[in-house]
Amino acid sequence: MDIRIEKADLSRLEACASILEGSELGRRYFCDARGRYIGGELLREGFEKEEVSVALGGDGACLGFAWIQPRGIFHWFPFLHVVAVRADLRGRGIGGKLMDLFERAAFVEERSPMAFLMVADFNAEAIALYGKRGYERVGAVPGLFLPGVDEILMMKRAPARAGAGGPA
């Protein structure tokens, strides 16, 4: 599958909001107290800060997106706020390419020693995927967003740089 990743502009907001709405993440976390989907309204912040990148197919269609906050944890460490892929295209490597983007932004562009993300305890598939990519569980926040749901904070350390060694 031909996929290219680029910074999103506001013309992609509606497509990204639709992708998010089609996910369990969007349905559970991006609704107001009356159950009305407000993902587009909330995503606008990421677009305005130029923190959203999109995965595009060969025809220019939006396949998924990542909202990466370069200093989102303690105003210092990179944080993957949202990653979402169209429901009909999951399992085709699009999420992996978006994760590669996040890690490149964190470890190469920001030169951060660590990168963080949060995932709901019910999302076993994502937890396993992040674990395979080297993310470790560093804590949980019970009921942070939803009653009875633990939000798991995961961290990945930067890979050792070639030629980088400890003190001599």
Per residue in 135-160, pLDDT (tens digit) is: 999 999 999 999 999 999 999 999 98
- Asked if residue 103 lies in contact with residue 124, where contact means CB atoms within 8 angstroms, the answer is no
Tokens at 37, concatenated: 């989907």
Strands 114-120 and 77-85: parallel
- Strands across the sheet with 136-142, in order? 3-7, 52-57, 62-73, 77-85, 114-120, 150-157, 136-142
Can you give the pTM of this predicted structure?
Answer: 0.91
> In this predicted model, what pLDDT tens digit does every residue of 25-74 receive, in sequence order?
999 999 998 989 999 999 999 999 999 999 999 999 999 999 999 999 98
